[in-house]
Structure 1
Amino acid sequence: MVRTGGQTATHLIYHFTSVANLPSMLAEGRICCDTTVQARGLLQVEAGDRDIKSRRRQVSVPVSPYGCPADYVPFYFAPRSPMMLKIKSGQVPTYSGGQRPLVHLVSSAERVAATEHTWVYSDGNCANDLTDYYTDLSDIDQVVDWDVMRARIWKNTAEDGDRMRRRMAEFLVHQELQWEALLGIGTFDETRADQVREILRTAGRSEPVRVRRDWYY
């Protein structure tokens, strides 16, 4: 979520994928958007909901550089996302592998903004018509609902029927993100962490890998 060191706030962002996809990402030296991934057949394992991904190809991003959400590499502002819960609960018809093989690739909004990559961010689920998009990082603390991001339970309530949409706010990097922009990788358990470390070692990389069981259900 938000970490503060000195006078600078760091807004961590999280992209999850199957560990089976890491070798191709490392070979590319970057994380590619879904449009590129689908066109080039880069995914070994598709953990996402294909119906939702189809919807993301039909929604327009109304700010520069425009396009649709599928044209961007998506990062959440918190782990334990609603999509991860769907996966854990077996509600993704085309994927049955559960949480354990999924790893979180971590960066920060500030780190990405310091690169040459173009990015935008949203105040909620990009497949929802209520969601707005922003391009000024100085507005992020007012746009993103950090109380909902910090909450262990983020489901909608009778008093607030919009919590789940806001929990799914995203930081979107246009087309691709270079691997060097990552801060580290979080895994479900030590077995998966060792597997990730070996994949990184084979690729000549050494990003920190940590078991973060609290990022999963």
Structure 2
Amino acid sequence: MKQIEELLAEYEIDYLYHMTYVDNLGSILLRGLLSRQQTCSQNLTYTDISDQEVQKRRSCKIVRGIPLHGYVPLYFNPRNPMLFVRKNLQSQIAILGIDPLVLLQPHSVFSDGNAACSNTVFYKDLSSLSRLNWKIIRQSIWYDQPDGKRIKCAEVLVYPQIAVRNILSVFCYSDEMVADIKKLRQDHLRIEVNRNLYF
């Protein structure tokens, strides 16, 4: 475990991140983070902030024998092209800080870019974190870099769900959002404003 913690520290992976509409938090903090496949099969209602054209591409993709929609998607850096496209909704988007040790779950994989792209490569062994372009993943600007948009959206895919206990923090756009989330009475959660994760 010490080696794993050292590896995560080397790449400054304090959290993995999942973005969601704040109104979804009640359900998430009850059931955990479910894959899109699970959410649909259980007929759960939620507000979707994703791009539907991108989701169509993702619906056709298989990663390591599992449909891409069977995984819960996380980002190494939430301040990425997906959030940029939804920046008009930022005041309503909560960013969940997930325990990076979900990388150790049996079917977890990670990618060197957006999972929907045909040229994205997927890895299982944590030693392959060295293959990712951390300069682009970490920096604030990606659009002036070759393939920057894809690389910036490097993902971690967790199958088939993420337990509530692995949701460590909720990062918010405003104090008003913090107040609303605290009404859910999840004492184990760290809830704070962090505008550095937003645009």
Shared fold (TM-score, shorter chain, > 0.5): yes
Write out per-residue CA displacement over residues 1-20 of structure 1, whole angstroms, 9 at most, x where no aligned residue: xxxx8786152210010111
Structure 2 counterpart of 1:87: 86
Is the contact between residue 137 and residue 154 of structure 2 (CA under 8 Å) also seen in structure 1? no
Question: Contact conserved, 1:117 with 1:177, CA < 8 A, in 2?
Answer: no
Per the TM alignment, residue 206 of structure 1 is displaced from its structure 2 partner at its CA by 2.9
Is 1:145 aligned with 2:148? no
User: Any stretches of 5+ residues in structure 2 without a counterpart?
Assistant: none
How far apart are the structure 2 equivalents of 1:179 and 1:186? 16
Letter in 2 for 1:190: D
* 4+ runs deviating over 4 angstroms: 5-8
Aligned residue in 1 for 2:178: 193
CA distance in 2, matches of 1:197, 1:144: 36
> Which letter maps to 2:80?
S
Unmatched 5+ residue regions in structure 1?
A: 90-97
Q: Contact conserved, 1:197 with 1:206, CA < 8 A, in 2? A: no
Deviation at 1:178, TM superposition (A): 0.4
Q: Name the TM-score, length of structure 1 as normaliser.
A: 0.82
Segment of structure 1 superposing worse, 14-23 or 143-152 = 143-152
Q: Percent identity?
A: 28
What's the TM-score, normalizing by structure 2?
Answer: 0.89
- The one-letter code of the counterpart of 2:69 is A
Matching of residues 22-61 of structure 1 within 5 Å: 22-28=25-31, 30-61=32-63
Give the alignment of 1:1-217 within 5 angstroms.
9=9, 11=13, 12-28=15-31, 30-61=32-63, 63=64, 66-88=65-87, 98-109=89-100, 111-114=101-104, 116=105, 118-140=107-129, 142-155=130-143, 157=144, 160-199=145-184, 201=185, 204-217=186-199
Q: Structure 1 or 2: larger helix share?
A: 2
Contact kept in structure 1, 2:168 and 2:188, CA below 8 Å: no
CA RMSD in angstroms, aligned pairs only: 1.9
Residue identity in the other structure for 2:135: D
